[in-house]
Amino acid sequence: MNNNKGNTHMTIWTRRQLTIAAVALALGAYPAHAGAVLDRVMAAGTLKVATDANWAPQSFVNASNELDGFDVDVAKAIGKHLGVKVEFVTPGWDIITAGNWAGRWDMHAGSMTPTKKRAEIFDFPAVYYYTPAAVAVHKDSKAKTLADLDGKVVGATSTSTFEAYAKKDLTLDAAGAPPFEYKLNPKEVHSYENSTTAFDDLRLGDGVRLDAVVSSLPSILDAEKAGYPIKQVGDPVFHEPLAIAIERGDPELSAKIADAVKAMKADGTLSKLSEKWYGQDYSKTN
């Protein structure tokens, strides 16, 4: 039985971490100095990547109980460009976005939207794909357009861009984000832990708990494929640029990752991976 994934974050106190902790104490800040994270990665020969284990098809635990998915493949490809092994850890989303990684992992490959606020604590070396966000309704719903959902109850993952969109509070201030407009006027927005629980409420019936869910188009299509009685309504409402994230303060690492993603775009690796996982090329907006 394969369980080494689970063990990746079970090593206790390596000497490296002790050193980093000591340096941090001395300087009172993270990361220690430019290039420190890159040095550490190259010295160890491993890139520790944080990702979600519960976000199919970007990242999930596959049939052989290993992490798999688009984000996971992208991370592995970046590792290959850097010439290091890739190790995954799966802390909760809040833990990742809280910053202060403290050397527990070096890079986040988990479809993070590069907002201005997040840019205060993170560097976003490269946008590697764009997710179209769309609105799903129960298959019995009479709604034909997004306008039909005026005054209805809408669900979305808590603190996600989807929720922000539904609440008309979305700023897509990342470079290369295409413009969008608010086409949804819900009466109420319900927050969910993840999109699956939102879909679970939607499947109970049209208007039982929810009238619609805002989520990523891929996750809507996946749920539909798995037999959820839901369907997309209207066109995608916005395109969300999604980026690799690292902690601020290591331009060398940032540059390396940017180079790697650029190369992967140029040689078609990203398009291929996107086709593999989504059936279409999300690595560019069109």
Partner 1 sequence: MLYPDTVEAEILVHKPWFVATMFGAVLLLFMAFNMSSTSFAELMRPVIGEPSTSGLYGRFAIGFAIAVIFTLNVVLIGFAPLKVQIGIVWLELLLLFIAFFETFHLSLPFIREKLPFLISQGVVTTLYVSAISIVIASVIAVAGAVAKLSSNGFAYAIASFYTSFFRGLPLLMQVYLIYLGLPQLGFVINAVPAGILALSLCYGAYMTEIFRSGIQSIDRGQWEASRSMGFGFALTMRRIILPQALPVIIPPTGNQFISMLKDSSLVSVIGVWELMFLARTLGQKTFQHMEMLISAAMIYWMLSICLELIQARIERHYHRSKVR
Residues that bind partner 1 (CB under 8 A): 1-3, 5-6, 9-13, 17, 20-22, 24-25, 30, 50, 53-54, 56-57, 60-63, 65, 89-92, 94-95, 98, 100, 102-104, 196, 222-223, 226-228
Cα 198–chain centre separation: 18
- β-bridge pairing 122-138 and 230-247: antiparallel
Q: Report, in Å, the least distance between residue 255 CB and partner 1.
A: 26
- CB-count burial class (<10 Å; 0-12, 13-18, 19+) for 45: exposed
**What does the CA dihedral 229, 233, 236, 238 come to, rounded to 10 degrees?**
-100
Q: Report, in Å, the least distance between residue 161 CB and partner 1.
A: 20
Q: Report, in Å, the least distance between residue 51 CB and partner 1.
A: 10
SS3 252: helix
What tokens were used for 2? Answer: 């394969």
By C-beta, is 39 or 148 nearer to partner 1?
Answer: 39
What tokens were used for 210? Answer: 């929810």
User: How far is it, in rounded angstroms, from Cα 270 to Cα 262?
Assistant: 10
Give the end-to-end CA distance of the chain in Å, rounded to a whole number: 43
- β-bridge pairing 153-157 and 67-68: unpaired
CA distances from 3 to 7, 62, 89, 139 (A): 7, 13, 13, 40
By C-beta, is 172 or 220 nearer to partner 1?
Answer: 220
Q: Report, in Å, the least distance between residue 247 CB and partner 1.
A: 12
By C-beta, is 127 or 245 nearer to partner 1?
Answer: 245
- In sequence order, the β-bridge partners of residue 89 are 50
By C-beta, is 102 or 147 nearer to partner 1?
Answer: 102
**How many beta carbons lie within 10 A of that of residue 191, not counting itself?**
15
Q: Report, in Å, the least distance between residue 151 CB and partner 1.
A: 30
Q: Report, in Å, the least distance between residue 72 CB and partner 1.
A: 12
By C-beta, is 71 or 222 nearer to partner 1?
Answer: 222
Q: Report, in Å, the least distance between residue 48 CB and partner 1.
A: 11
User: How far is it, in rounded angstroms, from Cα 128 to Cα 120?
Assistant: 20
By C-beta, is 87 or 127 nearer to partner 1?
Answer: 87
Q: Report, in Å, the least distance between residue 128 CB and partner 1.
A: 21
User: How far is it, in rounded angstroms, from Cα 10 to Cα 87?
Assistant: 12
By C-beta, is 17 or 185 nearer to partner 1?
Answer: 17
Rg of the chain's alpha carbons, rounded to an integer? 20
By C-beta, is 67 or 149 nearer to partner 1?
Answer: 67
